[in-house]
Amino acid sequence: MTTDKKDSRFFRFLKLPMYLWTLVFVFVSLTYVIGLSFMGRGELIGVDGLFTLANYARLREPQYLKVLLNSLKLAALTTVLCLSIGYPFGYLMARLKPGARTVVLMLLIVPFWTNSLIRIFGWRILLMGNGPLNTFLQNLGLIEKPLKLLNTEGAVFLGMVYALLPLMIMPSSNAVEKLDYSVVEAARDLGAGPLKAFFTITVPLTLPGLMAGCVLVFIPSMGLFFLNDMLGGGKTLLTGNLIQNLINSRDLPMASALSALMLLVTGAVIALYRKVGGSSGQLSMF
Amino acid sequence: MKKKRIGSTLFLTLVLLFLYLPIVVVIVYSFNDNPARIPLQFTGWTTRWYEELFAGKGGYGSALVLSLQVALWSVLSSVVIGTLGAVGMVQATLRSGKGSRGDNLMESIAILPIMIPEIILGLAFMVIFDALGIKGNTIRLVLAHTTFCIPYVFLSVKSRMVSMDTALFDAARDLGATQRRILRDITLPLCAPAILSGAFLAFAMSMDDFVISFFVYGVGEGTLPLKIYSSVKTGVSLRVNALCTLMILAVFLLVAMNQYLQAVRAKKERMLQKA
């Protein structure tokens, strides 16, 4: 049995760097943030080291509460809109002939891999007061004066849907691709209409992919602060902006409290996802 | 039946147009010959923004160098850490027949960086680096990027390990190979494609990262995404358009190359199966 012992020592040795790295840079650093959220502001290193719940009490102040609720609302709306565009897209894409599907997949990968700053920058140009979109609408005679498109909440919402849509399409399409379509055909043969077959067979069977997509869209949508800077004109709309502003004014404890809250929401979403039968493997799309 | 096909094609096309619209705008404007401060009027075609870019105006070269440096070091360290971690965990599970609870817990913590909103990680790195007294910008970026690159490598290698034929390991052991030898001669060669695709993904994520770098980076010019952000946050600079166009081109070439390699590999496998 000495070889067994030697083997397991070897495996432990292999795992060691990952254990250490994860402990220091993920576990300790996140725990440290949570710890900071229970402290007051201090002079020297930004915190005073004394336990307090004041930061969490401050979350009820309108300046925070309003943004938190707004951020949740935008995240939910983004998820719903991404779902209603991304799932049909994923479905239709998966039902294409293999050749056409490869083409669409490749067309999807390019925007997905393009830096989101670049893509959002494109929207910034498009939406400007005398930018291409307004000029186009004016030339069509649809509007007389340029509309205020940029620096609105609508622009931020558009940017969120735009940036996160691929994260809904990919898992949806994968799920539909794995679906055994003969089951749907059987339902149709037995007299179910196309809609009934879709909602009673296709949707339940592809639910894991659909839910993974929702989680993948919802979680990051709370934190995309740069979207707000570029399309929303810097108004504070998302939790991410609150955190960024607090970091800028060196209020680390309050920034930590908001991060801890976001971590809690993230944990709750993932727990809910697991509870309804989602696997975490689905969440790492690659 | 035909009507359905048309509707489906139309929907797919419209969504794809939506996805490409801003990208096309960025590219078209990079050729706009308008020197105004906010150059929204398209006044003619030019390549001067590219010429300026290559002449080194705006200092994007040093940002690119920093981005590449950080990506290279982060990928190297995450490949070593992630691969060994995945191999160690899966092998230990195979030998003992069940996954250890410590490993499962460690895995869920290790992949947190790609699950939680990036801004939280940015803040966490910022405060922990400050607390540990890590001040150098490059080292801060490399440590942060390595942390979020590890999960990509780890998950890629792990999924390959899990699907591997365990008889190989047993045979090697029965023939007297040490674990070190098994690792070198069997596991790592078989995992090579998975390591490579994990590394590729990690590299792309590192080059692409803005949010985490934004919080980790102190004062100065920063990586390419940081530089782009600071130049477009308030205004429009067509030099940035030229830079972005080049980056889009790079992405396109990489994606095309990847697709091509996959097609070649699939063809080879089909031929092997036939033989």
Q: Which SS3 state, helix, strand or coil, does residue A50 take?
A: strand
Query: Alpha carbon of A57 to those of A32, A50, A54, A64: distances in Å?
Result: 20, 16, 5, 11
Is residue A150, in this structure, part of any structural domain at all?
yes
Q: What is the mean predicted confidence (pLDDT) over B109-133? A: 93
Helix crossing, A116-127 with B2-29: angle to 10°? 90
pLDDT more than 90, % of chain A = 50
Is residue A261, in this structure, part of any structural domain at all?
yes
CATH code of the domain containing A90: 1.10.3720.10
Query: With 90 as the cut, is the pLDDT of residue A160 above it?
Result: yes
Contacts of B117 in chain A (CB under 8 A): 219-220, 222-223, 240, 262, 266
Contacts of B193 in chain A (CB under 8 A): none
Is residue A30, in this structure, part of any structural domain at all?
no
pLDDT of residue B234: 64
Tens of pLDDT, residues A113-130: 888 888 999 999 899 888
Query: Alpha carbon of A98 to those of A95, A102, A103, A285, B89: distances in Å?
Result: 9, 6, 9, 20, 37
Domains: count for chain A: 1
Q: Which SS3 state, helix, strand or coil, does residue B86 take?
A: helix
Show the domains of chain B with their CATH numbers.
2-52 (no CATH), 60-220 (1.10.3720.10)
Is residue A25, in this structure, part of any structural domain at all?
no
C-alpha A74: how far from chain center = 11
Band of residue A44 on the pLDDT scale cut at 50, 70, 90: low
CB-CB under 8 Å, B248 with A110? yes
Residue B210 and residue A226 in contact, taking contact as beta carbons nearer than 8 Å: yes
Exposure string for B61-82, b = 16+ CB within 10 A, e = fewer: eebbebbeebbebbbebbbbbb
Tens of pLDDT, residues A167-191: 999 999 999 988 888 888 898 899 8
Task: Return d(Cα B269, Cα B275) in angstroms, integer.
Answer: 10
Is residue A177, in this structure, part of any structural domain at all?
yes
Task: Return d(Cα B146, Cα B226) in angstroms, integer.
Answer: 18
pLDDT of residue A265: 93
- Closest CB to B88 among A15, A125, A226: A15
Chain B contact for A25, CB < 8 A? Answer: yes
Residue A119 and residue B23 in contact, taking contact as beta carbons nearer than 8 Å: yes
Is residue A14, in this structure, part of any structural domain at all?
no
The ipTM is 0.89
Exposure string for A164-181, b = 16+ CB within 10 A, e = fewer: bbbbbbbbbbbbbbebee
Nearest-Cα residue of chain B relative to residue A256: B123
Is residue A101, in this structure, part of any structural domain at all?
yes
User: Structure tokens of A79?
Assistant: 């998820």
Residue written as token pair 């910034």: A124
Tens of pLDDT, residues A134-159: 888 888 888 888 888 888 989 999 99
pLDDT of residue A286: 46
Mean pLDDT (chain B, rounded): 89
Query: With 80 as the cut, is the pLDDT of residue A216 above it?
Result: yes
Domain hosting A271: range is 62-283
Is residue A55, in this structure, part of any structural domain at all?
no
